[in-house]
Amino acid sequence: MSAETHGTRVLVLPDRDAAQEVADLLASRFALSSEPRLVRDALAGEDDAEDAQWLVVVEDPAAALDAAELDALAAEFEGWLEEDRA
The per-residue pLDDT for range 18-69, each reduced to its tens digit, is: 999 999 999 999 988 899 999 998 765 555 556 689 999 999 988 889 999 9
Q: Is the pLDDT of residue 72 over 60?
A: yes
Specify the pTM.
0.81
Cα separation, 21 vs 49, whole angstroms: 19
Q: Given pLDDT bands bounded at 50, 70 and 90, which one contains residue 2?
A: very low
Q: What is the domain partition of the chain in residue ranges?
A: 5-81
User: Between 83 and 7, whose confidence is greater?
Assistant: 7
CA triplet 34, 2, 77: central angle to 5 degrees? 65
Which CATH code of 3.30.70, 1.10.20, 1.10.3470, 3.90.1170 fits the domain covering 5-81? 3.30.70
Q: Which helix (H) or strand (E) holds 54?
A: strand 52-59
